[in-house]
Amino acid sequence: MVAERKERIVSIEEAVSVIKDGDVVGLSGSVLFNQPAALARAVIQKGVKDLTLVMLTGGLVSDMLIGAGCVRKVVSTYMGIQDYAPICPNFQRAYMEGKIAYWECDFQHFHCTIKGAQWGMPYLLTKAGIGTDICRINPDLEEVEVDGTKWIKVPPTPIDVSLIYASKVDPYGNCIYEGSVFAEFILANATKRAIIVQAEEIVPNEYMRRDPRVVILGGPTRADYVVDVPYGAHPDEGPKYYAHDSEHVKEYVKAAKSPETFKEYLDKYVYGCKTQAEYLEAIGGITRLLTLRQSMI
């Protein structure tokens, strides 16, 4: 009798229950791709507060978390929704009202701050930002002189929990991406408490072993919690599975223009949908989903 390996599949509620008020939360994806939309909706339903969001480039899902009042600080290089909204509406309003802080950075600083957290470094140095005002907007960045020349000193950002979208995951948390990969790997490596993965489908472990070359998250970065959420990136693109929902994104951007209309959006699509099935019905059901799927060709 061989001992049995423990599966990591849980319900979405169980997965997000590990997130606490004030946590530093890494988000996968970018702008309209690979963002963990279903996990974010579960976080909003749970009513978590004062999160610090960490993502390479923010987008609709990070903006939704801000609009729902879950966020105190944003660490990112960019906050926009393509041509739908060059600047994320809830983000922009919350920033101007002083409700959130924005640790705005360049790709290099993002890399340094995440890698510094993974490696346990007190800081990493980069040349990016020399000759700019980056230290004025982020007072914890510092210009230092090493070797007779100036560098930007970037402190680490350790992450408590990462919410990550993947195309396929096995019951033990190994992940495959069919399309774009953003900062998932480096975020997962810097995550202390829990890596939560939502995927389009759960596949057997044999699927990974058939071609382990294509597995992106695995080993130390395999998911601690695995959640099965088909169409879970909607309204983002789920690479290979479905295109982003441009009609819904337009509806979102319109709603996000004022707190009142955005509350209606949240009532309809987040608080009003207890399950992923209810959410998919609300956004247009099977007809809409097939249209998005067929747009992939």
Partner 1 sequence: MSKIYEGEYTISELQSILISRQIKPTDNIVGPGFYNDVVYNGALLAMKKHAPDTLYLSGIGWSSLAQAQIPRHTPMYIPFEYRFMAVCEKIIRGHDEIQLSAGGPRQHCNVFFLGGMQVDKYGNQNISVIGGVDKPTFRGPGIIGLQTFATYMDRYYIYTRNHDTRTYVDEVDFISAPGYRNRHGDRKSWNFEKYGWNPNGPQEVISPIAVMDFEEETKHMRLKSVHPGHSVDEVVEKTGFDLIIPDNVPFTPAPTEEEITMLRTQIDKVACLERLHGLQT
Closest of 265, 253, 270 to residue 89, by C-alpha: 253
Encoded one letter per residue, x for contact with partner 1 by CB under 8 A and - for no contact, window 254-283 reads ------------------------------
Do 141 and 111 contact (CB within 8 A), yes or no?
no
Calpha distance 122→100 (Å, rounded): 25
Q: In the set 73, 150, 263, 268, which binds partner 1 (CB under 8 A)?
A: 150
Q: In the set 80, 156, 230, 232, which binds partner 1 (CB under 8 A)?
A: 80
Terminal Cα-to-Cα distance of the chain (whole angstroms)? 48
Do 124 and 186 contact (CB within 8 A), yes or no?
no
Strand order in the sheet with 149-154: 124-126, 149-154, 142-146
Secondary structure of residue 106 in the 3-state scheme? coil
Task: Read off the DSSP letter of residue 282.
Answer: H
Calpha distance 141→49 (Å, rounded): 26
Pick the closer one to partner 1 by CB: 42 or 176. Answer: 176
Q: In the set 121, 144, 290, 296, which binds partner 1 (CB under 8 A)?
A: 296
Looking at residues 12 to 71 of the shown chain, list those that interact with partner 1 (rule: CB under 8 A): 30-33, 56-57
Q: Provide the sign of the torsion angle of the four alpha carbons 135, 139, 141, 143, taken in this order.
A: positive
Within 13 Å of residue 239, how many CA atoms lie on the same side as its CB?
A: 18
Which residues are paired to 282 by β-bridges? none
Q: In the set 78, 123, 172, 265, which binds partner 1 (CB under 8 A)?
A: 78
The pair of three-digit structure tokens given for residue 233, joined into one six-digit string: 């990136």
Calpha distance 196→8 (Å, rounded): 10
Q: In the set 181, 203, 253, 282, which binds partner 1 (CB under 8 A)?
A: 181
Piece in contact with partner 1 (CB under 8 A), picked from 41-49, 134-142, 195-203, 283-291: 134-142
* Minimum distance from residue 79 beta carbon to partner 1 (Å): 5
Closest of 220, 76, 36, 80 to residue 157, by C-alpha: 76
182 binds partner 1 (CB under 8 A): yes
99 binds partner 1 (CB under 8 A): no
Give Cα separations from 114 to 91, 107, 110, 274 (angstroms).
22, 11, 6, 34
Q: In the set 45, 101, 107, 253, which binds partner 1 (CB under 8 A)?
A: 107
134 binds partner 1 (CB under 8 A): yes
Pick the closer one to partner 1 by CB: 115 or 268. Answer: 115
Encoded one letter per residue, x for contact with partner 1 by CB under 8 A and - for no contact, window 192-231 reads ------------------------x---------------
Pick the closer one to partner 1 by CB: 230 or 239. Answer: 239
Piece in contact with partner 1 (CB under 8 A), picked from 40-48, 91-99, 193-201, 278-286: 91-99
Q: In the set 137, 144, 277, 290, which binds partner 1 (CB under 8 A)?
A: 137
Contact residues toward partner 1 (CB under 8 A) are: 30-33, 56-57, 76-80, 82-83, 86-88, 91-92, 95-96, 102, 104-108, 110-111, 127-134, 136-137, 149-150, 178-186, 216, 237, 239-240, 243, 296
